[in-house]
Amino acid sequence: TMLGLGCAVELGQLGQQLRRPVGLLLALLGQFVAMPLLAFLLALIFALDEVAAVAVLLCGCCPGGNLSNLMSVLVDGDMNLSIIMTASSTLLALFLMPLCLWIYSRYWINTAVVQLLPLGAVSLTLGSTLLPIGLGVLIRYRYPRAADLLVKISLWSLLVTLVILFILTGTMLGPDLLAQIPASVYAIAVLMPLAGYALGYGLATVFKMPPHCRRTVSLETGCQNVQLCTAILKLTFSPELIGSMYMFPLLYALFQSAEAGLFVLAYKMYGRDSYKQDTLGEEEDTDISYKKLKEEEVADTSYGTVTTEEHNSIQMEPTQTAL
């Protein structure tokens, strides 16, 4: 996944973002301000215990996932903006994700799971993702065609493997483990991506971005890197400590995919038609303006002809009278 992300990044795009870092700013506000705060508030509202709260916080503090890149294509979004936001949030997570976890876990600071929260291991896991990203950027620079192929493989394999992983995990672990997850955690898994999509769209609206960029920022904000969240839970906590909350990233992945799919379906049914009508309307306006311009030119010519004919008739009338 990270290799495919790196293959989608062009050095020229990075230079543009450094000169005008709108994507970087949106990634910062969406992934490390809005989503961690949202996860913290949901954990408080549903009164989660410390283990469930840490799992929810960890998912909320993760950077953007590659699922948003695929979904942005399906809703005619700004692919460059999507890729830049995902890459930027992944790089920023190296420093900001441990900081956000440290800030928002203060409420549960006296619990054992928070005292054992390994921020150093989180940073190490995040740092390990930089190697495939850097390799992908190098492949894009040296072998563009191979990079295009790797991007396509990465996006589609991501979608397929998420579905397979959830099915296999649910089958192998059985419904007993899923039954141990509280209903409040299921509710958060449903509400959190949905609220993230809404927050992202509102954030893009505040920045007065065009509709296709709003859709992109919305998907980027709500889609989290659940693979990274799962890896951190597995590498930093013992199964006895984290228990059934190991399933939370998979639940989040399921519902964020389903809700994004509904987003895409609604756009295909309604938004795309209105977008086409707007585009056609703009073209019709251009044609009408052009037709009006031509009619004015014809009217000017005919006016001159009439004047000439009237002038000739005036000159002919005295001659007829004289005869």
Q: pTM for the full model?
A: 0.72
Question: At residue 289, does pLDDT exceed 80?
Answer: no
The answer to whether residue 165 is domain-embedded is yes
95 assigned to some structural domain: yes
CB 190 within 8 A of CB 210: no
pLDDT single digits (tens) 195-218: 999 999 999 999 889 998 999 999
Which of residues 89 and 9 earns the better pLDDT score?
89
- CA dihedral in degrees (283, 218, 182, 53; nearest 10)? 180
Name the more confident of 263 and 160. Answer: 263
CATH of the domain at 34: 1.20.1530.20
Query: For residue 201, is it within any domain?
Result: yes
Strongest mean pLDDT among 30-44, 119-133, 282-296: 30-44
Residue 58 belongs to a domain:
yes
Average predicted confidence (pLDDT) for the chain: 76
Owning domain of residue 186: 1-281
Is the residue at 161 inside a domain? yes
- Integer Cα distance of 142 and 113 in angstroms: 45
Does 89 have pLDDT greater than 90? no
pLDDT surpasses 70 at 125: no
Q: Indicate if the pLDDT at residue 265 is higher than 60.
A: yes
List the beta strands (DSSP E) in 53-142: none
In this prediction, residues 5-12 reach a mean pLDDT of: 74
CA–CA dist 247, 235 (Å, integer): 14
Q: Is residue 300 part of a domain?
A: no
Q: Does 176 map to a domain?
A: yes
91/214: higher pLDDT: 214
Q: What Å distances lie between residue 57 and 245, 269, 270, CA to CA?
A: 12, 35, 35
Say how far apart CA 130 and CA 94 lie, in whole Å. 9
* Domains contained in the chain, number: 1
pLDDT at 282 over 50: no
Query: What pLDDT was estimated at residue 173?
Result: 62
pLDDT in tens, 231-252: 888 777 777 777 778 788 888 9
- On the question of pLDDT at 264 being above 80, the answer is yes
Asked whether residue 30 is assigned to any structural domain, the reply reads yes
Q: Let me know the angle formed at the C-alpha of 184 by 251 and 180, rounded to the nearest 5 degrees.
A: 70
